[in-house]
Each structure stands twice: as C-alpha cells, then as structure tokens.
Amino acid sequence: MLKKMVYYQRYHQWRKGDVPFVCENSKRVARPKLLFLVFLSFMSFSFILAPLFFPSAPTLSLLYSFGFEDEGVVSTSDVYASVCSSVSNGSICCDRSSIRSDICVMKGDVRTDSVSSTITLYRSNGYGSQVIGASGENDEIFQHEKIKPYTRKWEKSVMDTIDELNLVTKGENSAIHQKCDVQHDVPAVFFSTGGYTGNLYHEFNDGIMPLYITSQHFNKKVVFVILEYHDWWISKYENILPHLTEYPIIDFRGDNRTHCFPEAVVGLKIHDELTIDASLMGTNKTIRDFRDMLDRAYLPRIRGLIQEEEHETQLDKNISAFSPSAKTKIETTEEKLDVKKPKVVIIARNDSRAILNEASLVKMAQGIGFQVEVLRPQRTTELARIYRALNSSDVMIGVHGAAMTHFLFMRPDSAFIQIIPLGTDWAADTYYGLPARKLGLRYIGYKILPQESSLYNEYEKTDPVLTDPDSVNNRGWEFTKKIYLDRQNVKLNLRRFHKRLLRAYYYSMAKKNGHLHHQNQ
C-alpha cells in the first residue's frame, strides 16, 4: 500500500505540475512581467482558436491525450500516444513518457519469433542507407527497442516478473530468412497477462480497461497476442473479449509459428479517465462508455441464465402440480412480494477481512425490508452470474478488498456501502470510493472502530496498530499487508451500521418511487 500511495502522490503531483516534456539544459531566465503576460495571453488565445485552423495539429493531440476529448470514448487522433500518432512505414516509435506504461508502434512488415522473444520489422531497401553483409544480404539491425508490455511500469518488483520483448528493424532482404507461417491482414496488439493477474482489481485496472482503450480505434479488427497466456483468463473474460476483437487470440509463447502483421502495437495504453485507481478526475464519459460495453457483453449470457432458471422453475411447477401444498402457495406469494423489495447483495470474503457476524447482518437487513443475497465469489465463479446478481441489486455491501471491483457491475444510481477496516482508509477511497462516485453510484463508506476489528483482541488498546494505523503503514507495504490485510476480520457494531443500511434503504425506496435526489456521501 505504501508503494501505491507513493505512486499516487508522485503521479498526481506530476499531473498538477503540467510539465509533460522536459528539455535538458533548460534554464530559468527572468523576463519582464509585461512581456510574460503578453506571451501568456497569446498562448491562451492560440489554444482557443487552434481547433478552428489546425484540427489535426500535434499540439491538439497532446491536449486530447490529457483529457480534453470531445465527447468521444477516447481521442481517436490516436490512442497510442501523441508522440507516435504518425508512425512512418518501416519504423518503430516508442512512447516511454508515461509513468504507468510504455507503448511501441511498429508499421510495415512485422513478423514474430517467440523463441527469441523478438518482433522484427522489415523495411524496404529504399528506406535509408543499406549495409550489405558477407552473405550478400542486408542483415543489419537498424533499430533495437526493449519493452515489457505490462501496465505497472513504476513498480519494479512486479515488472521484474514480466517477459521482455525485443523489437528490431532490419532490411527487407533479411526477411527471406524468416518466412511467414500465418499472414494476418489486420494489426496486432501484444500485451502480458502476467504480473498481478489473478487479482480481480488488477485484472480490470491493469488489463481489461487498458486493453479496451488500446483496441477501441481498431473497431475489433485486431489480433490480440498474449504473453504469459492463461486459459482461465480467456474463459473468465470470454463475454468481454468478443467486444474488443473478432479474431482468435494468440498465445505468444505457445505458438512458435511466425505470424506476420501489417502493424503492431506492443504494450497497452493507459488512459487517465479509464483506470480504477484514483485517476477518474476528469469527465465520466469514458468510464461510462466502458460500463455500457460491459452491459452489452453480459446481456446475452444473462438472458441465457434467466431462460435456464425459468425452465427449471417450470419443471418444479410441473412436479408440484401433482401434489400442491399450502406451503408452495405461500412461498410463491412471498416471492412476488420480494420483487417489490429493494435488493442488497453482500459480497462475502472467505479468508481475511471476513464479516464475523454476517448472519446477524443478513437478519438485520431483512428486518429493515431488504431482499438479501449473500455472494461468495470464487476464482471459478462465472462473472456473468456475479454481474447478473449485482446488476439487479439496489445496494452492494462489502469489506475493502479486490472483490469491491465488482462495483463496476452495479447500475448507476445504485448504492455501494464499503466497510473500511483499520489501516485501509486511503486505499478504500482511492481505489473504490472515488471511482464509484464517478461511475454515478451512491457511495457510503463505513469506517470501523478499533473495537470492531479482530485486531482489538490481539494488541494493547494503546498500540499504534489500533490508535495510529498511518504510522504502521508508513513502515512499509509488508507491515500493511501482514497486519491489516492478512490478519484482520470485522465484527460490525450492528447498531452503528444500521444507520448506513437504513440510509441505503430509504435511498433505494426513493429511487423506486421516482423521488431520487442525486447526492453522494
């Protein structure tokens, strides 16, 4: 957490500084105030009029890439980056200016060699000077770039686990030594599903969302090539991937054939308005477009699930018809009444940060008037089933952790109550509270008291673990993880929590009755 906090502070200080490019040996030179004001006025006037006269100017591309897009999903001037928006044929352009990720673009005759972890771009003989080798063929490497196509560039510990790719350019005569086994007529996007993949938060924040941004302007006419390929990842996101590409996905390491492409994007573009972690500071359009895509992705499967359940229900009714009972009639009546009740879904944890008095919480929610569903997501749980449960709910309750990423599945104007254990205040708001508000959810944070933490029984009442969690977090991530994430459970003060739950109930009923006032707390 400490590393993430440091990153967050550094990243946003950089944004606030508004200095995306730095020239070496630049010096501060004193200027008369009048001239400075004239210059500033001229620049401001130029930015206002520039779109009228230079709609495709590189300066505008830079502005769009920093969040000044015009109602589109992303500035379609080019999602790679303004630096590589115009890549000439036969060349490699790499943008390494982002603190989050590197991205390289290759245009021309692109061929893969998974054995040597190399992607080669062969350029025509008319491109630049030629060097003839002893074999009579031009085999000189004109450009060599290295890149790890994963989106946590600032975090060395995880980047050390990511496979590195060599990107090289050679003369076209060298291509005779590397024949194409598979010829593609659409571009490729190379990325890794290594690193923190396996954690839902990181799968969306560092994978699915950047992949969505990077692939948008290809309109599904793109091939995904994955390093550290996982079959389970493909199965888990089988509903989403067809909305990003209409081509089979390639396992880079598992497929030793030479694949040839007219263009390649290596790495994923991070867009500041489409990450979960505290970067939704601009407009909400991009994140909501992503959310709409999720709806389209899961709707067909959800319809299938409903049909399956209706079929099973009909079978049960046919069986019951032979021996009808008063109990069956009562249950049917109760089911009809439950439809009118607001629904709350409790995301239950199976390891640390569990709600120890979960049964009492369920009973209290039912007493208030909620229809309650307890959801226990497993790695093997189909996302469409989780999506259906949350998308049909009015309130989601859960303890801070990766499973809170499921707030993305909630309908706008639904309520999200996040239980915040000791030592997780900053992360809870940064990774889930703030983005949930941006997504249009009614966010209610519930910060537990020391007495509600299982740590209260392990430490002296004056111990900093209970009285000053920030001081513990400042000692390093390993302390945060060991104490607050791995060893802490929650026993809610139900009388205190009742107020938040009642607030969510009244909010949900007002929404159902059409008296909703948009206000997040």
Give tens-digit pLDDT for 290-328: 888 999 999 999 998 888 777 676 665 666 555 554 444
Are 240 and 208 within 8 A, CB to CB?
Answer: yes
User: Are 197 and 150 contacting, i.e. CB atoms less than 8 angstroms apart?
Assistant: no
239 contact partners, CB below 8 Å, separation of at least 6: 297, 298, 300, 301, 383, 384
User: Which range, 80-89, 285-294, 322-331, has the best average confidence (pLDDT)?
Assistant: 285-294
Which of 30-44, 203-217, 332-346, 504-518 is predicted with the least confidence, judged by mean pLDDT?
30-44
Give long-range contacts, CB 8 A cutoff, 24+ apart: 2-6: 2/473, 2/474, 2/476, 2/477, 2/480, 3/155, 3/477, 4/277, 4/427, 4/430, 4/477, 5/426, 5/473
Q: What average pLDDT does the segment 393-399 reach?
A: 97
Instruction: Note the pLDDT of residue 202.
Output: 94
Q: Is the model's pLDDT at 10 over the cut of 50?
A: no
Taking residues 495-509, report their average pLDDT.
96
More confident residue, 137 or 159: 159
Q: Binning pLDDT at 50, 70 and 90, where does residue 125 land? A: low
Model confidence at 72: pLDDT above 70 = no
What integer best gives the mean pLDDT of the chain?
Answer: 80
Do the Cβ atoms of 138 and 122 come closer than 8 Å? no
> What is residue 319's predicted lDDT score, i.e. its pLDDT?
64
Give the per-residue pLDDT at 305: 86
Domains and CATH numbers, the chain: 91-124+140-270 (no CATH), 343-520 (3.40.50)
**Mean of the pLDDT values across residues 206-218?**
91
Q: What is the reported pLDDT for 441? A: 93
Q: How far apart are CA 520 and CA 515, in angstroms?
A: 15
Look at 13-17, 80-84, 456-460 and tell me which has the smallest mean pLDDT. Answer: 13-17
Task: State the pairing for strand pair 141-147/165-171.
Answer: antiparallel
- Confidence grade of residue 80 (pLDDT, cut at 50, 70, 90): low
- The pLDDT score that the predictor gives to residue 488 is 97
Gyration radius (Cα) of the chain, Å:
27
- Render pLDDT for 349-392 as a digit per residue (tens, 0 to 9): 988 999 999 999 999 999 999 999 999 988 888 999 999 999 99
- Give me the mean pLDDT over the 424-433 stretch: 94
CA angle 459, 463, 465 (to 5 degrees): 80
Q: What is the mean pLDDT of residues 42-58?
A: 39
* CA neighbor of 436 nearest in space, from 405, 397, 390, 403: 405
Q: Which residue has the higher pLDDT, 471 or 90?
A: 471
pLDDT band for 275, please (50, 70, 90 cuts).
low
Distance CA 216, CA 12 (A): 26
Q: Tell me the mean pLDDT in the region 458-482.
A: 96
Q: Residues 492, 494, 496, 498: is their CA dihedral positive or negative?
A: positive
Rounded (10°) CA dihedral 476, 477, 480, 483 = -90
User: What pLDDT does 139 receive?
Assistant: 67
3 state SS of 247: coil
Per-residue pLDDT tens over the stretch 137-158: 456 888 999 999 999 999 999 9
**Cβ(521)–Cβ(430) below 8 Å:** no
Is pLDDT at 397 greater than 50 in this prediction?
yes
- Separation in Å, CA 435 to CA 190, 242, 277, 294: 28, 26, 7, 16
**Residues 201-230: what's their mean pLDDT?**
94
- At residue 278 the predicted structure's pLDDT band, cuts being 50, 70 and 90, is very low
> What residue type is assigned to position 120 of the chain?
T
Q: What is the pLDDT of residue 517?
A: 54
| Lowest mean pLDDT across 6-10, 64-68, 458-462 | 64-68
Q: For residue range 472-483, what is the model confidence (pLDDT) as tens digits?
A: 999 999 999 999
Residues in the chain, total:
521
pLDDT band at 161 (very low <50, low <70, confident <90, very high): very high
pLDDT for 83 equals 73
In tens, the pLDDT along 409-419 reads: 999 899 999 99
CB 475, CB 323: distance < 8 Å = no
DSSP string, 170-198: EEGGGGGGS--SEE-SS-EEEEE--TTTT
Q: Residue 379: its pLDDT value, please?
A: 80
Name residue 225's beta-bridge partners.
190, 250
| Six token digits for residue 159 | 């980047």
Q: With cut-offs at 50, 70 and 90, classify the pLDDT of residue 404.
A: very high
Q: How many CB atoms lie within 10 A of CB 346?
A: 22
76 pLDDT band, cuts 50/70/90, is very low
* Closest listed residue to residue 108, CA positions, set 177, 168, 191: 168
Residue scoring higher pLDDT (83 or 450): 450
- Residue 22 pLDDT > 80, yes or no? no
Cα–Cα distances (Å) from 78 to 87, 227, 329, 417, 459, in that order, read 11, 24, 61, 38, 54
Give CA torsion, residues 10, 13, 14, 15, to 10 deg: 130
CA pair distance 286, 306, nearest whole angstrom: 30
CA 98 to chain centre: 17
For the chain, give the longest Cα–Cα distance.
Answer: 96
Distance, CA of 107 to CA of 265 (rounded, Å): 9
